[in-house]
Amino acid sequence: MQRTFEVTKAADLLGIKLQILEARGPDDLEGAFRMMAAERADAILVLPDPMLSENRVALGALALKSELPVMSGSREDISHGVLLAYGANRLDLTRRAAGYVDKILKGAKPADLPIEQPTKFDLVVNLATAKTMGLSIPEAFLVRADEVIE
């Protein structure tokens, strides 16, 4: 789990106490939120995971119910109660993938094409969620956001 290692390493550098909880299925979400509330968690960072993406509505509802701010890597989560989303711009990734398809259709061997990393990232802030949770987001942070949802 390279992602977990990197998050743990960053938390240590920032002096943040990190508690890692796993939710293997949708039935684990409510228990995980109860545990986080009991432990008095300040916020939640959701790492990319197909199960959590599939259950983003439940994730957002639990975040709002528990008043625990959630940050995810997917802007799609933002309309369901997630406070912050920061991740690769999927439209840009799709455009770049089309370029690969074009090269392959013109005869390039996929194995010969370079592997690329995302270069465009989006920060989205949900002020409606912040208001519901009684949080204020500093103006300096909002100015840096790519999109602010009111």
**pLDDT of residue 20 exceeding 90:** no
pLDDT tens by residue, 53-107: 899 999 999 999 999 999 999 888 888 999 999 999 989 999 999 999 999 999 9
- Residue 52's φ and ψ, nearest 5 degrees, are -70, -35
Distance, CA of 31 to chain centre: 20
The pLDDT assigned to 2 comes to: 64
Q: Where are the domains of the chain?
A: 2-88+120-149
The pLDDT assigned to 5 comes to: 80
Q: Which CATH number is 2-88+120-149's, of 3.30.450.40, 3.40.50.2300, 3.30.565.10, 3.40.1110.10?
A: 3.40.50.2300
∠ CA 126-135-121 to the nearest 5 degrees?
35
Look at strands 121-126 and 44-45 and give their pairing: unpaired
pTM: predicted TM-score of the whole model, two decimal places: 0.82
**pLDDT of residue 147 exceeding 70:** yes
